[in-house]
Amino acid sequence: MSTGPVAAVISKPLVNKPDMSLDLALVLLAGVREQCSTRGIALAAAVVDRGGNLVSSARMDGAQLGALSIATDKAFTAAAFGHPTSAWTASSAPGGGDWGLAHALGGRAIVFPGGVPIFDGGELIGALGVSGAASTVDEECALAAAAAAGVEAAAA
């Protein structure tokens, strides 16, 4: 048996954190679909886990063809930074302190509304991204879906 600093590190327990489940992801997508039905719009939505990995997604009939890719990147960005994508709308404009942020994360960073991080007990568990309407409407639908699911979502 090994002793010393390496053994001390190996013997430490692993980090155990809550994460997005498929069941919760499907509830969030159903919430977005309900918002679409109420508003008479068609959107795409994506749910990622706390590491930004896709858990589930949907593009509603009639939604823009590119909406799902954007929704996925909105969710990825919200999970990666733990803030809604709307947090960078002003600061990422030319001359802003975060100018160029849209080119971060391999070009996947989204700097306009529609992606919201999802929390459970204050702990980041994933994110929801919505796209296909005006970005402020996308964010409203994401926040309403999170509220209907009974989870915490951060708004800018």
The pair of three-digit structure tokens given for residue 121, joined into one six-digit string: 């007990």
Q: What is the pLDDT of residue 54?
A: 98
What does the pLDDT average to over 50-72? Answer: 97
Percent of the chain with pLDDT over 90: 75
Q: Which residues lie below 8 Å from residue 46, measured CB to CB, with a gap of 6+? A: 54, 56, 57, 68, 71, 72, 74, 75, 128, 129
Which residue type is seen at 155? A
* 26 has a pLDDT exceeding 60: yes
Range with the lowest mean pLDDT among 92-96, 116-120, 136-140, 147-151? 92-96
Q: How far apart are CA 15 and CA 100, in angstroms?
A: 33
Q: Which residues lie below 8 Å from residue 140, measured CB to CB, with a gap of 6+? A: 35
Q: Which residues lie below 8 Å from residue 10, measured CB to CB, with a gap of 6+? A: 2
pLDDT tier at 95, thresholds 50, 70, 90: confident
Tens digit of each residue's pLDDT (9 = 90 or more) over 63-89: 999 999 999 999 999 999 999 999 988
The DSSP result for 102-120, as a single string, is: GG-GGGT---SSSEEEEEE
